[in-house]
Structure 1
Amino acid sequence: MSSSDEFTRLREVIVGRADHYTDHDADASFQLFFFDNVTPLTGAGRSLLPIPPQYVEELNEDIAGLSDALTACGVTVRRPAAPGKDVDIRSPLWDARATPPLNVRDNTIILGDTIVETAPHVRARIFENDYLKPLFYSYREAGSKWLAMPRPALARGTLDTAFYTRQGADVSHVTDADEALGIDGLGMEMIFDGAQCMRLGRDVLINVANRNHELALHWLREAFPQLRFHVLDSIADSHIDSVVVPLRPGLMLVRDPQYRDFLPKAMQSWDVIVPPPMDESAFPDYSDFGFNIASRYIDINVLSVDENTVVVNSLYPELIRLLEARAFTVVAVRHRHRRLFGGGFHCFTLDTVRDGGREAYLD
């Protein structure tokens, strides 16, 4: 196993599963993570939001289409183990309905030949990586390293809300309604998702928006002194793979040119592709039973097969045409319910083998 960037030739990838994705467990940790998009729910306490089976079936069809498309590109596709039923989990501090291993990018970073399990923001996701362990053990037996950040307790009061309060948002109605128990003296924990990173050989862009993320950054720097971690200071609340996506050295997909100012100076001169805007009418309407947990920018969440080939949602023809005009080969794959399940093709995948190594793209 070896994967150090987002764009060199992809050889092997893990594609997530949505089996038994029957509910969103909308507790305080979920509401804070998706705060911008769950305003109607905030302050309501914990609730299970059922997802209609039709949408889960359609999601599974689209994931199968993604797997088939990657296989047709010559990529070896591996899958997590499938949950056999809906699972309720419990810690000494909280209860949750477990989320299946769909957005596998979030709870793991691959840094070269090392698997790094991260420390989830959302309580329902704390055991997701158990379904990836058969794969992780096979990589370890083949010579890869395997590390894990300290598992967070996700106790009441340990999630830093500084990103929102700096913007003048009042999140007290969420934190006050949190049903979890606290732990005296614990304070802020190390909490971090792999999708807060973009890998560029020996350099890693890393979004740090609060104290939870700062603790994770310190841990990563201690564990990987050979890498250069470049802090993107609150470029987003957490994930950045629908904000800035390196397509190859010198060229990136960026939600808006204003985000250049957050990037390392060596990247600010890169050529930029700004995706065409999408309005709400381009997406399914879930208002009869729920809401969108992802923003309308989710289709920027593309996956590169190599420096000239990109997997893009077929329902975003404007981006397909733009990339093709820049001489990219676009692999168009349908993904209908990206805003309901909160992930695009980059989220759904964990690339474990790419041709690139620790090149110095930012020197």
Structure 2
Amino acid sequence: MPPRDVLLTVGNEILEATMCYRSRWFEYLCYRPILQSLFNADPNMRWEAAPKPRLTDASYRHGFWDTYNELPLGEQLERVRNHDLVLTEEEPLFDAADIARCGKDLFVQLSLVTNRSGYEWLKRHFPDHRVHPITFTNTHPLHIDSTWVPLRPGLVLHCGERPAEPELMGYFRANDWEIVEAVQPESWEHKQRLSFCSPWLAVNMLSLDPKTLCIEEKEARLADQLTQYGFEVVPVPFRTVAPFGGGLHCATVDIEREGVLEDYFPVRYGRF
């Protein structure tokens, strides 16, 4: 269901991510017919694939989940900041959905499915971009698109329960971006049984253009908030998809866009 977990579009390139779940190793094959047709139709299309991982036991910390969830909150967050999580650095691993694209800048969340080796591989693969490793105050980081959501140039929506590291906030503000905290999701009050997704899947929205956003139809508070910022909101019934692992952003991937490569962050700040 979620092609954006597997495929990353950057310029005229579509890149197949490694994935780190053994259960998702073969998922890229579902999209191969589409990629083949795009490759055949467009002589400028670049079709790339990151090195397919072996996913042996050496790629995982044995017994991680036996102890991690029992740790105090502070220790969990310290491990997130140090990226001392379930993945080792045995081989590059990343999900495409852990990458937020803002023109020349690619923000790579280090998470339960993306390791530092994955970030390093992406940094070398995209030498014409600034590739940044980032973390959030989130004990179970998994995909960036329900935490840090660029809405249009100069405006980013973030999950208030998962504050960004101060230098990331400073980088955006130094470049005149407004950082808006998302309202609490409607799904907070009626979280679905058997769903592994956070209620913050509410902000996992599909941006059609700088003025138009598709969001889940029951997220009325979020719709009101986005309308105040001048967006046209298109409600889409999508709540029953969540238990299967994804929102509107997860379930889509851009394969054709208009525009040129922009630099939205000309000012350096801290390590950025």
Instruction: Tell me the residue number matched to 1:239.
Output: 143
Instruction: Tell me the residue number matched to 2:46.
Output: 145
Give, in angstroms, the shift of residue 274 of structure 1: 2.0
CA distance in 1, matches of 2:230, 2:77: 43
| Structure-2 change in CA distance of 1:336 and 1:187 (3 Å) | closer
CA distance in 2, matches of 1:190, 1:107: 15
CA distance in 1, matches of 2:206, 2:224: 16
Instruction: Tell me the residue number matched to 1:336.
Output: 239
Q: Which has the higher contact order (CA 8 A, sep 6+)?
A: 1
Instruction: Tell me the residue number matched to 1:275.
Output: 182
Which runs of 5 or more structure 2 residues have no equivalent in the other structure?
A: 80-87, 267-272
Contact 1:119–1:192 (8 Å) recurs in 2:
yes
Give, in angstroms, the shift of residue 234 of structure 1: 5.2
CA distance in 2, matches of 1:252, 1:150: 32
Instruction: Tell me the residue number matched to 2:56.
Output: 155
Does residue 263 of the first structure (1) align with residue 168 of the second (2)? yes
Contact 1:301–1:346 (8 Å) recurs in 2:
yes
Give, in angstroms, the shift of residue 243 of structure 1: 0.3
Tell me whether 298-307 or 137-146 shows the greater mean CA deviation: 137-146
Instruction: Tell me the residue number matched to 1:195.
Output: 97
Instruction: Tell me the residue number matched to 1:182.
Output: none
Instruction: Tell me the residue number matched to 2:85.
Output: none
Contact 2:134–2:165 (8 Å) recurs in 1:
no
CA distance in 2, matches of 1:191, 1:198: 16
Matching of residues 1-363 of structure 1 within 5 Å = 102-141=1-40, 142-143=42-43, 144-160=45-61, 167=76, 188-209=90-111, 213-233=115-135, 236=138, 237-256=141-160, 258-259=163-164, 261=166, 263=168, 265-268=170-173, 269-278=176-185, 280-284=188-192, 286=193, 291-363=194-266
Letter in 2 for 1:107: V
Which runs of 5 or more structure 1 residues have no equivalent in the other structure?
A: 1-101, 171-185
Equivalent residues, number: 241
CA distance in 1, matches of 2:55, 2:21: 8
Give, in angstroms, the shift of residue 189 of structure 1: 2.3
Higher helix proportion, which one? 2
The normalised TM-score by structure 2 is 0.80
CA distance in 2, matches of 1:203, 1:158: 28
The normalised TM-score by structure 1 is 0.61
CA distance in 2, matches of 1:309, 1:201: 19
Runs ≥4 in structure 1, deviation > 6 angstroms? none
Contact 1:304–1:310 (8 Å) recurs in 2:
yes
Percent identity over the alignment? 29
Contact 2:15–2:47 (8 Å) recurs in 1:
yes
CA distance in 2, matches of 1:220, 1:193: 11
The structure that has the greater radius of gyration is 1
